[in-house]
Chain A
Amino acid sequence: MKSFAKTSLKSFLGVPLARPRVAFFELSSCEGCQLQLLNNEATLLEFLALLEIVRFREGMKEASDDYEIAFVEGSVTRKDEEERLRNIRAQAKIVVALGSCACFGGVNQLKNRFHDLEWVKQEVYGSWPVDTQEAKPLSAFIAVDLEIYGCPIKKEEVERIVTDLVLGQQVRHPQYPVCMECKAQENICLFDLGEPCLGPVTRAGCDAWCPSNRLGCWGCRGPAPEANLTQLYAIMRDRGISQERILDRLECFGGFAGFVADLKKEKGEEGKE
Chain B
Amino acid sequence: MKVSCDIDIKRLTRVEGHGNIRIVIEGGQVRTARWEVVETPRFFEAILVGKYFENAPYLCGRICGICSIGHTLASIRAVENCFGITPTTQTRRLRLLLKHMETLQSHILHIYFLAAPDYLGVGSVLPLVATHPAVVQQALRLKLLANDICDEVGGRRMHPTRPVVGGFTMLPDRYRLGQFRQRLQAALADLDASVELFLGFSIPDFQRQTEFVSLRGDGDYPFIGGELVSSDGVVKQEHEYAAMTNEYMADFSTSKLSRLSRESFAVGALARINNNFSGLLPEVKEVAGALGLNPVNHNPFMAVVAQLVECVQVVRESTTLIDQLLDAPWQETRQTVQPQAGIGIGAVEVPRGILYHCLHLDVDGRISKADCVIPTSQNHANILHDIEALAAWCVQQGKSDQEIELLAEMLVRAYDPCISCSVH
Contacts and interface: CB of A to CB of B under 8 A. Distances in A.
Interface of A: 26-36, 38-39, 41-42, 44-45, 48, 53, 56-63, 77-78, 81, 106-108, 110-111, 114, 119-121, 123-125, 128, 130, 132, 135, 151-152, 209-210, 213-215, 218, 244-245, 248, 252, 273
Contacts, number: 159
A213 B159 CA distance: 12
A58 B47 contact: no
Interface stretch (B14-22, B302-310, B347-355): B14-22
A215 B161 CA distance: 6
Interface centre among A45, A59, A63, A151 (most CB of B within 10 A): A59
B170 interface: yes
B65 A124 contact: no
B123 A151 contact: no
A108 B42 contact: yes
B119 interface: no
Given A31-B420, A130-B41, A107 B59 contact: yes
B55 interface: yes
Interface of B: 11, 13-17, 40-47, 49-52, 54-55, 58-59, 62-66, 68, 109, 113-114, 117, 123-126, 129, 136, 140-141, 143-144, 147, 155-159, 161-162, 164, 169-170, 249, 254, 420-421
Nearest to A245: B52
A60 B62 contact: no
A58 B15 contact: yes
Given A31-B65, A214-B170, 14 more contacts: A27-B40, A30-B65, A32-B64, A35-B158, A57-B13, A59-B114, A62-B123, A77-B42, A130-B254, A132-B43, A135-B42, A151-B159, A214-B169, A248-B55
B156 A209 contact: yes
A9 to B, nearest CB: 15
Given A33-B65, A152-B159, A58 B52 contact: no
Given A41-B144, A123-B46, A215-B162, A248 B51 contact: yes
B40 A44 contact: no
Nearest to B421: A30
Nearest to B66: A35
Interface centre among A107, A111, A135, A151 (most CB of B within 10 A): A107
A132 B63 CA distance: 17
Nearest to B15: A58
Contact of B43 (A31, A45, A120): A120
Nearest to B171: A214
